[in-house]
């Protein structure tokens, strides 16, 4: 196994799914709800968007749309299979959005303490 700082987002997502499988359905519900709120009000996102040198608001809306599609198409397979979870949601540029979702979910009262700690440790940029 690689050190955390050597792992890519797919590997990190697979690890968190393997460590805390019971927390994944809650994360998926949160990610879908957040994505639905973004796609339902794209003008609201455009108004609050701050300059980002990597992506623009249209990308964020596209990532939210793609996240909804993946969750709808893959359904329960995402929670049952760490490989499907990580490959479908944390590969490529989509990971910019889904890592954000994961970090936001970890801040919620509904997220377990173990998930909060794991998300901070595994996806922290401080490592």
Per residue in 14-69, pLDDT (tens digit) is 999 999 999 999 999 999 999 999 999 988 888 888 887 788 899 999 999 999 99
Judged against a pLDDT cut of 50, whether residue 116 lies above it is answered with yes
Is the distance from CB of 61 to CB of 38 less than 8 angstroms?
Answer: yes
Q: What percent of the chain has pLDDT over 70?
A: 96
How many alpha carbons fall within 13 Å on the CB side of residue 110? 12
- Longest CA–CA span in the chain (Å) reads 44
Judged against a pLDDT cut of 60, whether residue 75 lies above it is answered with yes
In whole angstroms, what separates CA 100 from the centre of its chain?
6
**What's the token pair of residue 11?**
């590997």
Q: What are phi and psi of 25, to 5 degrees?
A: -60, -40
Q: Which residue did the predictor score with more confidence, 97 or 110?
A: 97
Distance set, CA 117 to CA 74, 106, 124 (Å): 27, 8, 10
Q: Looking at residue 5, what is its pLDDT? A: 82
Per residue in 82-105, pLDDT (tens digit) is 999 999 999 999 999 999 999 999
Q: Looking at residue 121, what is its pLDDT? A: 92
């Amino acid at each position: 196994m690689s050190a955390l700082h050597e792992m890519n987002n797919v590997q990190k997502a697979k690890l968190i799914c393997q460590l805390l499988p019971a927390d994944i359905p809650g994360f998926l519900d949160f990610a879908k709800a957040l994505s639905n709120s973004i796609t339902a009000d794209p003008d609201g996102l455009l108004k609050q968007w701050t300059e980002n040198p990597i992506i623009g608001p249209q990308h964020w809306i596209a990532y939210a749309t793609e996240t909804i599609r993946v969750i709808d198409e893959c359904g329960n397979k995402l929670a049952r299979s760490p490989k499907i979870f990580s490959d479908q949601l944390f590969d490529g540029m989509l990971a910019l959005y889904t890592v954000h979702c994961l970090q936001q979910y970890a801040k919620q009262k509904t997220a377990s303490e173990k998930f909060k700690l794991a998300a901070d440790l595994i996806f922290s940029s401080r490592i």
